[in-house]
Structure 1
Amino acid sequence: MADGFGHILNWRLLAGSHPFPGPDGGTCINEAAVVAAGLPYRAIRSSADCPPCFSHPLAAYALGLNDAMPDAERHRLMVFVLRLSGSADRPEIEAARTRHLAVAGIRRILGPLCGVAGLPELAERCAAAETGDAALAAARSAAWHGGLRAEDASHRRHWLAGARAAALARTATAAIRASADPRCAAEIAEGAAPFLPGTWATACTILEEALAIGRQAMDIDLLLAGRRLDAARGLQPA
């Protein structure tokens, strides 16, 4: 199994949607998942473009991470390439996934960013938020305090402190929207990553946890998936 998965890792993940890949090409995470599952290739520019068997919040979050991650980090998403097709579930399950992506992002990414910005009490408040309402209230407070601190730092010409506070305000604003839009949950990681080492690993762990909620994707043989990916690159017959 390890050898088969290693073969899949030869596929290149790239930011954005791409034409059908040639020998040197690649795709985003959702396009790779489409190919690996044996479904007809399609360009994916948003989670709405995914096949109906893809969980909308999981696909949206994965796509947001795919487009925001630096090239050196994007390979982390390859472990999810076989786990998106077949993950769609009932509306209440999809809502639970969306809620987890938002709350976990606030607790484990926005919270530490508050600490970096010099707001330890707010960091603790984010970390302690166990419900969607508590997490949303903490994010709103972070957006307000971040904006105030950024403005004050600008007046004082404290540029580093201002950059941290501005990043906090932007990231908290994304966290507020994440309760309704799972792609915005990926923007939490995007905003915090320049200031928090390990943010992309945390974001992938959050995706792993959301994948564990509800229906699991169909089992796809690793070697078969590898052959499908190779065929898409023109390296062997389909």
Structure 2
Amino acid sequence: MGTLDQPGAGGAFDHILHWRLLPGSHAFPGPDGGTCINEAAVVAAGLPYRAIRSAADCPPCFSVPLAAYALGLNDAMPDAERPRLMAFVLRLAGSAAGPEVEAARVAHLARETVRRLLPPALEQAGLPAEAAACREAGSLDAAVAAAQRAAWTAGAAAEASARVTLWVRGARAAAAGRAATFAAASADDARTAADAAEAAALFSPATWAEAVAILDEALEIGAPAPAVPVDLARERMAAARAGVA
């Protein structure tokens, strides 16, 4: 979409659709239109409403890895950042694709999480060499290996700092190691990439905009379905708020 990495992007859809994104799953949208990202996308697509606790609860037309990543971001983001996801309310229905495309999406989420979200955390934890290795990883295998090494090195740094009572340095290294551990595991589970984003965001608030940009890029892999027209989505969401959907 090209503008999702800009501050406040997504807020326009928040106002146009008159809907609020909230963490967690919800039995049915109330008058305030509060649901998670995937529940809102179900309403916008005109599908029967359902509470969504994981990507497995989404309709079959939703890409499982994209829905999992979006749900993870939705639940982890601070309230002020969550409107960045509103644009995806119109794009998740119809995003399901064949195994090769879905695998490519998972690979993109994992690789770019390592390359773009981990380095700032590692640099602030005093691990510039590990940050550089993550940033330079050109393939999924290289990214996973770099994240694994970063997790091990950060863990060792945390232990060494604790032995000499450098508690702040140790806590910073431990937090960076947590982000790296999640990132290394995200090649097998797209939701884990969102966990890595949450851990990395402790070091840089800009992490959230970058994570949303990564989701946008992953949606463009393959042949994405046309977005739900804004006017139609707004009508459907208004009906849901009124309890007549």
TM over 0.5: yes
Following the alignment from structure 2 to structure 1, what is the Cα–Cα distance between the partners of residues 238 and 161?
A: 52
Residues 1:42 and 1:108: Cα distance change in structure 2 (over 3 Å): same
Following the alignment from structure 1 to structure 2, what is the Cα–Cα distance between the partners of residues 102 and 6?
A: 28
Offset, 1:215: 2.4
Q: How many residues align?
A: 235
Question: Residue type of the partner of 2:148?
Answer: R
Residues 1:73 and 1:159: Cα distance change in structure 2 (over 3 Å): same
Of the structure 1 ranges 226-235 and 177-186, higher mean CA displacement relative to structure 2 is found in 226-235
Offset, 1:15: 0.5
Counterpart check, 1:60 vs 2:60: no
Following the alignment from structure 1 to structure 2, what is the Cα–Cα distance between the partners of residues 76 and 41?
A: 23
Following the alignment from structure 1 to structure 2, what is the Cα–Cα distance between the partners of residues 135 and 149?
A: 21
Following the alignment from structure 1 to structure 2, what is the Cα–Cα distance between the partners of residues 187 and 170?
A: 9
Counterpart check, 1:14 vs 2:22: yes
Question: Residue type of the partner of 2:92?
Answer: L
Following the alignment from structure 1 to structure 2, what is the Cα–Cα distance between the partners of residues 92 and 41?
A: 29
Equivalent residue, structure 2, for 1:128: 136
Equivalent residue, structure 2, for 1:74: 82
Q: Deviations over 1:70-106 (max 9, x none)?
A: 1111111001110100011110000000000000000
Contact 1:103–1:135 under 8 Å retained in 2: yes
Equivalent residue, structure 1, for 2:32: 24
Offset, 1:219: 3.3
- Report 1:137-148 matches (<5 A): 137-148=145-156
Unmatched 5+ residue regions in structure 1?
A: none
What value does the CA root-mean-square deviation take over the aligned residues?
1.6
Contact 1:8–1:225 under 8 Å retained in 2: no
Following the alignment from structure 1 to structure 2, what is the Cα–Cα distance between the partners of residues 211 and 19?
A: 27
Question: Residue type of the partner of 2:231?
Answer: L
Counterpart check, 1:117 vs 2:125: yes
Offset, 1:25: 4.4
Following the alignment from structure 1 to structure 2, what is the Cα–Cα distance between the partners of residues 191 and 165?
A: 12
Equivalent residue, structure 2, for 1:85: 93
Equivalent residue, structure 2, for 1:183: 191
Residues 1:75 and 1:230: Cα distance change in structure 2 (over 3 Å): same
Counterpart secondary structure, 2:90: coil
Equivalent residue, structure 2, for 1:103: 111
Following the alignment from structure 1 to structure 2, what is the Cα–Cα distance between the partners of residues 5 and 161?
A: 41
Contact 1:107–1:128 under 8 Å retained in 2: yes
Unmatched 5+ residue regions in structure 2?
A: 1-9
Question: Residue type of the partner of 1:87?
Answer: S
Contact 2:33–2:237 under 8 Å retained in 1: no
Equivalent residue, structure 1, for 2:55: 47
Contact 2:127–2:154 under 8 Å retained in 1: no
Contact 2:13–2:86 under 8 Å retained in 1: no
Counterpart check, 1:154 vs 2:144: no
Counterpart secondary structure, 1:39: coil
Of the structure 1 ranges 216-225 and 90-99, higher mean CA displacement relative to structure 2 is found in 216-225
Counterpart check, 1:196 vs 2:204: yes
Offset, 1:6: 5.5
Q: Where does structure 1 differ by over 2 angstroms across 4 or more consecutive aligned residues?
A: 4-10
Offset, 1:7: 4.3
